[in-house]
Structure 1
């Protein structure tokens, strides 16, 4: 009986060692970005340098396609969630642009339901500014925006910066228009 117990323990410990060895031999998949990191241009840039093809390309593409479906229905909350899910897996400039636009439209709808209050505008515009800066950081690595698209993003960064300094609404500031603020 003791002999049988000793062999059983020996077999179990051998199996555990083999399992641990196999687990350590498999490569650890790279981590996705967090939503907070999407607002950090340096984090986006560094992550893309370390993961030039992103992670979970299939999941990123699926989430992006879902975001496009929700966008076509003007379901900005669901679009923002889907574009965000895509962005944490592969933050291309195009995905990040869709993400920030959907968030601004979603926040604008919420703001309108609450009587177009001015509460929270500064925080929302700071968030949008960081998102657009992340778009440019991603493009610095991937170089995927056209010259026209780069100019649009740079104009969005400039107009948000001006708004945050002066509280003056420029008529051609697309992020403010997306948010529901008219000149």
Structure 2
């Protein structure tokens, strides 16, 4: 019996409670988790973290906003929270790039990070269906311009993630 339980626990990749920050960039894990937990977990903490993220975003405290939105997203990765999370991260990484000349992942790594998270936004929306058509269109445009950049290594003409990152065409 114990062996069967251990095998089941090992075979089930879904966490019992909250997601990890790394799992937020894996659309298949986000959508499977949301199917099991459509209302999220630790709702109070998720809401408080989201509200803190909005306040920090208003002050342009991008590092604090990214942390708060991330704390909310691991408890309830709704499309809106994930979109705020990736936007705050791009602003924060852009500030680091400006200050230090580069980030630890570099431009390509940062844009790949953003692409994977925008794909998770769409995966979450496929489960929850909470994005408006305008929001969906913007996320799809972000995915397209990032994918184009990562294939060609040519700076896109108009691409909001690059603008959040501090690079304007």
TM-score, reference length from structure 1: 0.81
Q: CA deviation at 1:31?
A: 1.0
Q: Which runs of 4+ in 1 moved over 6 A?
A: none
Deviation for aligned residue 1:171 = 2.7
* Residue in structure 1 matching 2:99, options 113, 123, 127: 113
CA distances 1:80-121 after superposition (whole Å, capped 9, x unpaired): 000000000000000000000000000000000023689611
Query: Counterpart in 1 of 2:130?
Result: 144
**Deviating more after overlay: 118-127 vs 153-162:** 118-127
Q: What TM-score does the superposition give when structure 2 sets the normalisation length?
A: 0.88
Alignment RMSD, CA only?
1.6
Q: How does 1:57-96 map to 2 (within 5 A)?
A: 57-96=43-82
Q: Is 2:93–2:103's contact at 8 Å kept on the other side of the alignment?
A: no
Moved more, 120-129 or 163-172: 163-172
Once structures 1 and 2 are overlaid, which stretch shifts more, 51-60 or 167-176?
Answer: 167-176
1:32 equivalent in structure 2? 18
Residues 41 and 117 (structure 1 numbering): CA distance in 2 closer, same or farther, change over 3 Å?
closer
Residue-pair matches, total:
155
Compare CA radii of gyration and give the structure with the larger one: 1
Unpaired stretches in structure 2, ≥5 consecutive residues: 1-14
